[in-house]
């Protein structure tokens, strides 16, 4: 079923923040931000900027009527810097002017003097200095120290993964309008309207009921607008309140790249022990998370790294330690996968290294250790409805991996400078917010007297197709056509106290709430129909016709609604849903944090040009367990997009910071993301057959994040190809595996270790 939204996107008719037509008295804000990674502000000279014609005001932290604080999890982040700056890109002042051009020109006239302080960019250095965001987190199961003695093979090493830019097409932005009685309406490109409402309330000092937040649609979010939209909305709101005029703030691409946080870089140490048959007995891992200058969502992300540190394997003895470390980079934030990819990369590296040492293929160890039904995760939950092995076997069979291997071996024998590599990548990803209280949602459904339907939930449409899924749910329940159903923008005055559209869970949570609300209305309508038809039996609706005992009654949907209205029935319903049965004890680190898990197995094939260090991803295929997909077309799009985004993270997307903190790769000519030429020749993601999921909406499973992790296979496929060319090489596990790292691996003089 096609996603109708796409038509409007393709025709350029969908409206994003920067497309909103503003009243003629609207003003425009631009941000003056720090150019250094760490420093004390000695002086801030606004005089020249204020003199510019068109400049209405320049706001600093002193102008904030409420609290100068936007830290959601931990109160450690100012909206506008006070005495010190902690990263390059940190907002210091806001220029409000008659046009965006004028505001930006004035920004350039602001002069600031810093007393430069030492800059720390590396999480291990921050660790040595004791700069922790939160106390260390440790997940453990069994006893690793006792287990090492039973291991035949023990490998140790280090895994590094880099930052990643979200690169949503629509940059961060917000418009704030002063409304009656000292209230504000804020439209924001946010995944989390309630979080914006809270942040604006905190900064302006207004109670939440005086702040209406709306998010009609986003040009992409990927996690980058889960927490970080708050500050830009708060800036627009602060300006609107101060000047009593509508104010728009939309970042340029360069500003967005410089100011906002990215996926957390991680540096990790692993130690893996196996018995003679390749069964994993023990795994110890230490994660150093580079959190940037403030907490943002880092603690929650750190937890998800721990939750997924054993990926889809059963490991009886685990000790996983994680540190969230404060550095002088922009606050790192949520990004598709939410810390899980970094955790999974570490164990996959460890398995690869163990396979190298044992002289077996990594896939042998991967398969041997896959989770089975009832196996325990290191956090107290056990695998239910486990489809790890099922998807693995389906991948072997569907993609004829045996054939692929033969073909690759032949190719590698016949070619000297081109080598192929191949890797499997199983995944396991838990669905639910790891913070249990966030697993709630509301839905408000109006049936209008003409039979058309309006739906409000907390879900924000950002290209992932959630609106389409919601319409499908309502359409299936009421048995009315899709064009009778409209999804309203997420708005805090219609559905309040919402959770962000994140954690892949929006369709699940909001869909369930919607299901409840629709069923309630349906019940009312059918009772009315029974009354009208004077029957004790329950009528049903099929295709907008009311049927009784499988016979048409002549009553249509519209008639029924009209009748119910005339009978003065309430045609509005609100419902609230919470995920049942989830809990987590943060002291013991035990519980049942996830509603269910998503499984799957990816296979990746690459061809490496050993002369140039370039490669093509020939294919990325996967058997993905999506339950019974609610909308297979949308889900495939999500899976393919996620996989390509993952490929970028592991291969070409490299973020470079100057030693004092400023971002160097702050344009798309320096920060390279996969384009259509780079995408896999064959991208074949199929859904595991005969799967279901009673815990999900209509038996479906969440789709947004899990397929991202299939791309991790590309790193190991490339590594295999390198070894075909240069068997003695022992590389570091450092991603992204850029061309220059590859070339160094292929040609560096030191034979055995290559540090890229």
Partner 1 sequence: MKNFNYIQPKSLKEASDILKKKPHEAMLYAGGTDALGLMKQDIIKPEEVVNLKSVPGLNYISYTNGKGLRIGALTELAEIAENPVISEKYPILRHAALAVASPQLRNLGTIAGNLCQRPRCWYYREEFNCLRKGGDMCYAFDGQNKYHCVIGGGPCFIVHPSDLAVVLLALDAKLTVFGDRKTRTVQLKDFFVSPGDDYQHENNLKAGEIITEIQIPELPQDAKSAFVKFRERGVWDFAVVSVGAVIRKEGSKVISGKLAFGGVAPIPWMDESLNAKLPGVALSEEPVAQLVSEILKKAEPLSKNAYKVPLVRNLTKRLLLEL
Output the smallest distance, CB 415 to partner 1, in A. Answer: 13
Output the smallest distance, CB 34 to partner 1, in A. Answer: 12
DSSP annotation of 700: B
Which residues are registered as beta bridge partners of 141? 318
Is 744 a binder of partner 1 (CB under 8 A)? yes
Tell me if residue 707 falls in helix, strand or coil. Answer: helix
Scanning 40-48, 241-249, 619-627, 671-679 for contacts with partner 1 by CB under 8 A, the matching segment is 671-679
C-alpha–C-alpha distance, residues 144 and 126, integer Å: 27
Using the minimum distance from each CB to partner 1, give the nearer residue, 54 or 489. Answer: 54
Is 415 a binder of partner 1 (CB under 8 A)? no
Scanning 520-528, 545-553, 582-590, 664-672 for contacts with partner 1 by CB under 8 A, the matching segment is 664-672
Is 52 a binder of partner 1 (CB under 8 A)? no
Is 677 a binder of partner 1 (CB under 8 A)? yes
C-alpha–C-alpha distance, residues 441 and 721, integer Å: 47
Output the smallest distance, CB 661 to partner 1, in A. Answer: 12
The footprint of partner 1 on residues 315-374 (CB under 8 A) is none
Which of 666, 696, 698, 711 is the binder for partner 1 (CB under 8 A)? Answer: 666
Which token pair is 458?
A: 């907390």
Place of tokens 């949503």: 168
CB atoms within 10 A of CB 580: 9
Output the smallest distance, CB 260 to partner 1, in A. Answer: 17
Cis? peptide before 631, omega within 30° of 0:
no
Of the residues 212, 367, 654, 705, only one is catalytic, namely: 705
Is 53 a binder of partner 1 (CB under 8 A)? no
Is 670 a binder of partner 1 (CB under 8 A)? yes
Tell me if residue 584 falls in helix, strand or coil. Answer: strand
Which of 9, 556, 672, 726 is the binder for partner 1 (CB under 8 A)? Answer: 672
Using the minimum distance from each CB to partner 1, give the nearer residue, 156 or 750. Answer: 750
Backbone torsion region of residue 595, taken as left when φ is above 0, otherwise alpha when ψ lies between -120 and 50, otherwise beta: alpha
Output the smallest distance, CB 294 to partner 1, in A. Answer: 24
Output the smallest distance, CB 80 to partner 1, in A. Answer: 20
Using the minimum distance from each CB to partner 1, give the nearer residue, 105 or 532. Answer: 105
Using the minimum distance from each CB to partner 1, give the nearer residue, 316 or 662. Answer: 662
Using the minimum distance from each CB to partner 1, give the nearer residue, 194 or 651. Answer: 651
C-alpha–C-alpha distance, residues 695 and 692, integer Å: 9
Is 748 a binder of partner 1 (CB under 8 A)? yes
Which of 99, 382, 614, 755 is the binder for partner 1 (CB under 8 A)? Answer: 614
Output the smallest distance, CB 293 to partner 1, in A. Answer: 20
Which residues are registered as beta bridge partners of 599? 428
Is 146 a binder of partner 1 (CB under 8 A)? no
Using the minimum distance from each CB to partner 1, give the nearer residue, 192 or 647. Answer: 647
Cβ contacts of 434-438, under 8 Å, gap ≥ 24 = 434/300, 434/303, 434/304, 434/307, 434/503, 434/584, 434/593, 435/300, 436/582, 436/583, 436/584, 436/593, 438/499, 438/500, 438/503
Using the minimum distance from each CB to partner 1, give the nearer residue, 461 or 618. Answer: 618
Which of 612, 681, 750, 751 is the binder for partner 1 (CB under 8 A)? Answer: 612
Which of 51, 531, 611, 633 is the binder for partner 1 (CB under 8 A)? Answer: 611
State how far the alpha carbon of 31 is from the alpha carbons of 244, 267, 443, 623, 672, in Å.
19, 32, 36, 46, 26
What secondary structure, in 3-state letters, does 360-392 show? CCHHHHHHHCECCCCCECCCCCECCCCCHHHHH
Is 746 a binder of partner 1 (CB under 8 A)? yes
Which of 409, 675, 682, 750 is the binder for partner 1 (CB under 8 A)? Answer: 675
Tell me if residue 624 falls in helix, strand or coil. Answer: strand
Which token pair is 307?
A: 């939750």
Output the smallest distance, CB 148 to partner 1, in A. Answer: 37
Output the smallest distance, CB 60 to partner 1, in A. Answer: 21
Which token pair is 252?
A: 């340029």
Backbone torsion region of residue 123, taken as left when φ is above 0, otherwise alpha when ψ lies between -120 and 50, otherwise beta: alpha
Is 132 a binder of partner 1 (CB under 8 A)? no
The footprint of partner 1 on residues 23-42 (CB under 8 A) is 35
Using the minimum distance from each CB to partner 1, give the nearer residue, 209 or 614. Answer: 614
The footprint of partner 1 on residues 681-740 (CB under 8 A) is 738-740
429 and 709 Cβ atoms separated by less than 8 Å: yes
Which of 24, 43, 659, 752 is the binder for partner 1 (CB under 8 A)? Answer: 659
Single out the residue of 362, 361, 338, 358 nearest to residue 349, CA to CA: 362
Which residues are registered as beta bridge partners of 486? 454
Output the smallest distance, CB 412 to partner 1, in A. Answer: 19
C-alpha–C-alpha distance, residues 306 and 426, integer Å: 17
Interface size with partner 1, residues (CB under 8 A): 30
Q: Establish whether 654 is a catalytic residue.
A: no
Is 169 a binder of partner 1 (CB under 8 A)? no
Adjacency order of strands within the sheet including 418-431: 418-431, 596-609, 614-624, 682-687
Using the minimum distance from each CB to partner 1, give the nearer residue, 490 or 711. Answer: 711
80 and 59 Cβ atoms separated by less than 8 Å: yes
The footprint of partner 1 on residues 105-124 (CB under 8 A) is 108
State how far the alpha carbon of 379 is from the alpha carbons of 330, 343, 365, in Å.
31, 15, 23
Single out the residue of 25, 23, 19, 26 nearest to residue 248, CA to CA: 26
CB atoms within 10 A of CB 244: 10
Is 414 a binder of partner 1 (CB under 8 A)? no
Is 14 a binder of partner 1 (CB under 8 A)? no
Output the smallest distance, CB 754 to partner 1, in A. Answer: 11
Q: Which residues sit at the interface with partner 1, rule CB under 8 A?
A: 35, 108, 611-614, 652, 656-659, 662, 664-666, 669-670, 672, 675, 677-678, 738-741, 743-744, 746-748
Active site residue ranges: 705
């Amino acid at each position: 079923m096609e996603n109708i939204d796409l038509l409007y996107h393709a025709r350029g008719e969908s409206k994003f923040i920067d497309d909103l037509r503003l009243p003629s008295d609207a003003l425009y804000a631009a941000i003056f931000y720090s150019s250094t990674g760490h420093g004390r502000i000695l002086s801030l000279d606004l005089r020249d900027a204020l003199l510019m014609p068109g400049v209405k005001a320049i706001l600093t932290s002193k102008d904030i009527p409420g609290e100068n604080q936007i830290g959601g999890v931990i109160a450690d982040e100012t909206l506008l810097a006070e005495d010190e700056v902690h990263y390059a890109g940190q907002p210091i002042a806001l220029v409000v002017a008659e046009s965006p051009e004028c505001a930006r020109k004035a920004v350039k006239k602001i002069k600031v003097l810093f007393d430069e302080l030492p800059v720390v960019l590396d999480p291990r250095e921050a660790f040595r200095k004791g700069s922790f965001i939160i106390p260390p987190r440790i997940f453990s199961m069994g006893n690793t120290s006792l287990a090492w003695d039973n291991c035949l093979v023990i490998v140790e090493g280090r895994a590094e993964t880099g930052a990643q830019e979200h690169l949503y097409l629509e940059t961060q932005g917000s418009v704030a309008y002063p409304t009656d009685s000292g209230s504000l309406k804020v439209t924001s490109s946010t995944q989390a309207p309630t979080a914006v409402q809270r942040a604006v309330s905190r900064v302006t000092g207004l109670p939440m009921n005086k702040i209406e937040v709306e998010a009609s649609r986003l040009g992409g979010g990927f996690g980058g607008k889960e927490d970080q939209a708050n500050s830009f909305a708060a800036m627009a709101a602060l300006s609107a309140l101060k000047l009593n005029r509508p104010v728009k703030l939309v970042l340029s691409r360069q500003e967005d790249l410089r100011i906002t946080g990215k996926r957390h870089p991680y540096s990790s140490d692993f130690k893996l022990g196996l018995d003679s048959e390749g069964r994993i007995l023990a795994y110890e891992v230490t994660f150093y998370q580079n959190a940037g200058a403030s907490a943002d969502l880092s603690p929650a992300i750190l937890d998800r790294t721990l939750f997924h540190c054993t990926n889809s394997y059963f490991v009886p003895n685990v000790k996983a330690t994680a540190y969230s470390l404060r550095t002088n980079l922009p606050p790192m934030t949520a990004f598709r996968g939410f810390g899980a990819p970094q955790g999974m990369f570490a164990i996959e590296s460890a398995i690869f290294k163990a396979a190298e040492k044992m002289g077996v293929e990594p896939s042998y160890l991967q398969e041997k250790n896959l989770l089975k039904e009832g196996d325990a995760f290191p956090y107290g939950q056990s695998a239910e409805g486990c489809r790890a092995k099922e998807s693995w076997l389906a991948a072997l069979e569907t993609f004829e991996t045996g054939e692929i291997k033969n073909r690759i071996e032949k190719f590698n024998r016949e070619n000297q400078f081109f080598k192929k590599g191949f890797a499997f990548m199983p995944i396991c990803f838990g669905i639910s917010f790891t913070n249990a209280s966030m697993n709630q949602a509301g839905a408000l459904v109006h049936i209008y007297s003409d039979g058309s339907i309006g739906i409000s939930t907390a879900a924000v449409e950002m290209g992932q197709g959630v609106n389409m899924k919601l319409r499908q749910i309502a359409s299936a329940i009421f048995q009315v056509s899709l064009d009778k159903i409209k999804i309203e923008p997420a708005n805090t005055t219609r559905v309040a106290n919402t959770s962000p559209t994140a954690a892949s869970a929006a369709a699940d949570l909001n869909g369930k709430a919607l299901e409840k609300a629709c069923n309630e209305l349906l019940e009312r309508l059918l009772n009315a129909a029974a009354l009208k038809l004077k029957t004790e039996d329950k009528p049903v609706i099929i295709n907008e016709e009311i049927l009784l005992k499988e016979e048409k009654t002549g009553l249509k949907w519209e008639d029924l609604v009209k009748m119910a209205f005339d009978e003065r029935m309430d045609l509005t319903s609100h419902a609230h849903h919470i995920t049942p049965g989830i809990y987590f004890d943060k002291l013991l680190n035990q519980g049942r944090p996830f509603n269910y898990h998503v499984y799957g197995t990816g296979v990746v094939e690459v061809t490496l040009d050993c002369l140039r260090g370039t490669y093509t991803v020939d294919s990325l295929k996967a058997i993905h367990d999506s339950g019974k997909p609610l909308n297979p077309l949308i889900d495939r799009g999500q899976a393919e997009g996620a996989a390509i985004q993952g490929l970028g993270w592991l291969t070409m997307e490299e973020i470079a910071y100057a030693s004092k903190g400023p971002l160097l790769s702050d344009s798309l000519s320096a920060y390279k993301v996969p384009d259509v030429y780079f995408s896999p020749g064959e991208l074949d993601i199929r859904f595991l057959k005969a799967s279901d999921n009673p815990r999900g909406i209509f038996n479906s499973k969440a789709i947004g994040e899990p397929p991202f992790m299939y791309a991790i296979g590309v790193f190991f496929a490339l590594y295999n190809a390198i070894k075909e060319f240069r068997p003695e090489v022992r590389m570091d596990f450092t991603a992204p595996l850029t061309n220059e790292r590859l070339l160094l691996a292929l040609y560096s003089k030191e034979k055995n270790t290559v540090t890229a």
